[in-house]
Structure 1
Amino acid sequence: MASDFDLETLVDLEQTFYDSGYEDGFAHGRIHGLIEGRALGREKGFEMWEELAFYEGFARTWQAILTGLGRDDDRAAHHIRHLLDLIAQFPRVNPSTADSSSELDILKLSRQIQSRYRALCSTLGVKPANIRASGTTPDADSPEPPAAADSDTPRRQPVWKIEATSF
């Protein structure tokens, strides 16, 4: 009696199913990874450009103010020019798909822009806003936390008087 049953296929059965599942899972993960990667890239890119737009708007506003006051050659104007130059160096296209021969360190350039912004704020005597590409922006409507009772720090007075109203 001849047996048509091959025991060798049973020995490799588990590995065969594992390999098949791995190939299917890898292909599925690649598709979803590309979709999620693009969505995350759009989100982080938007946050980064939102931060840069804030810095550029801040610099251009103060540039117009200083030009109107006739102070185009002082220290603040120098910081403004350098800040705008750094922002102009920021790539406008995805550097991974553009010319790969130019090695641009985006994080280093971003830190330089943030440092120049803080230097400009210091020169102008303006408190720098906590703008970071992490998505945290200052909320003008949020109340300031109360000062501790034993703290020597005086509470800041609000700029606008807020009257209680009922709705």
Structure 2
Amino acid sequence: MADFDLESLIHVEQSFYDAGYADGFAHGRIHGLIEGRALGREKGFEIWEELGFYEGFARTWRALLVKQGRGDDRASQHIRQILSTIAQFPRINPSQATTSSESSTNLPLNDADFDIMKLLRQIRSRYKVLCAALGVRPRLRAADVGDAEDAGVEMDADEEMNGVASQRVAPGSSIPVWKLDSAGAKKPVTNQDLSF
């Protein structure tokens, strides 16, 4: 009985807690990195898909305006602004860039004040201004609305802007029908139609 330390029994619960905490922390760190990378890839793809849409939209309209000989009007200035803002968007992760070839981009890599979401909001607002200058309705859709369109659900312009999809069915039938405008003409785009 002289070898047995009674004092160690007092702290046995705390020692088990500490060992479990250390194991759980190490395990959580590994899974947190894996889940964080997966979520980062998913959200990064969504952002780049949106930016690709804006850039393609601007480049297409720029080509159309140049072909029409309207390369110096207000819409062309908005196109140049949106394309230059998209060009400022970082194409690498600034916190992981270490080589000199990666630091040749236009992004200051050590700038801790760089705000990606602020730049994305600026691009979105420039897109809305460009659409207003062109007289085109801005197409702002959520991902679930695109899935509804793929499933064959018809939406009118107001539902598409609000991200709400409702299927219209003819009375006494299960076949969806399209909504017809009374005059067959589009509504003119006004500033009240834009949601900021």
Describe the SS at the equivalent of 1:130: coil
Q: Tell me what 1:162 maps to.
A: none
State which of 142, 146, 163 in structure 1 corresponds to 2:153.
Answer: 142
Q: What is the root-mean-square deviation in Å for CA atoms of aligned residues?
A: 2.3
User: Structure 1 residues 93, 131: CA separation in 2 closer, same or farther (over 3 Å shift)?
Assistant: farther
Structure 1: unaligned runs, 5 residues or longer: 148-154, 160-167
Give, in whole Å, the separation in 1 of the partners of 2:57 and 2:39.
27
The answer for the alignment partner of 2:88 in structure 1 is 89
Which residues in structure 2 correspond to 1:52-91 (within 5 Å)? 52-91=51-90
Please report how far the alpha carbon of residue 107 of structure 1 lies from its aligned counterpart in structure 2 after TM superposition.
0.9
Counterpart in 1 of 2:102? none
**Conserved? CA contact 1:51–1:131, under 8 Å:** no
Match of 1:151? none
Distance in 2, matches of 1:131 and 1:95, equals 29
Residue number in structure 1 paired with 2:103: none
Q: Using the TM superposition, give the Cα deviation of residue 156 of structure 1 relative to its aligned residue in structure 2, in angstroms.
A: 5.0
CA contact (8 A) 1:131 1:137 kept: yes
Higher RCO (Cα < 8 Å, 6 or more apart): 1
Indicate conservation of the 8 Å contact 1:90/1:109, yes or no. yes
Q: Residue 6 of structure 1 aligns with which residue?
A: 5
Corresponding letter in the other structure for 1:45: G
Q: Give me the identity figure in percent.
A: 59
1:121 to 113, 131, 137: 131
- Aligned counterparts, 1:35-50, within 5 A: 35-50=34-49
Q: What TM-score, normalized to structure 1?
A: 0.80
List, as ranges, runs of 4+ consecutive aligned residues in structure 1 with deviation greater than 4 Å.
135-141
1:21 counterpart residue number = 20
Q: Distance in 2 between matches of 1:156 and 1:118?
A: 27
Normalised TM-score (structure 2):
0.69
- Write the distance in 1 (CA, Å) between the matches of 2:35 and 2:77: 42
**Inter-partner Cα distance in structure 2 for 1:120 and 1:95:** 30
